[in-house]
Amino acid sequence: MKNIIRKDLYRYIGEDCNSNFWLTRYVLFTAGFRYIYFYRHAQYAKSAITRLFWTFLLRQCMLRTGIQIPAQTKIGEGFRIVHFGHIVINPEAIIGKNFNISQGCLIGNSQGKKSGVPTIGDNVCMNANSVIVGGVTIGDNVLIAPNAFINFDVPSNSIVIGNPAKIIAKNNPTAKYIVYPIID
Q: Which residues are catalytic?
A: 86
- Any idea what DSSP says for residue 104? T
113: alpha, beta or left? (left if phi > 0; alpha if psi -120 to 50): alpha
Catalogue the E-assigned strands of 60-161. 67-68, 74-75, 80-81, 87-89, 94-95, 100-101, 106-108, 119-120, 124-126, 131-133, 137-138, 142-144, 149-150, 158-161
Can you state the percent helix, strand and coil of the chain, rounding each to 5?
30, 25, 45
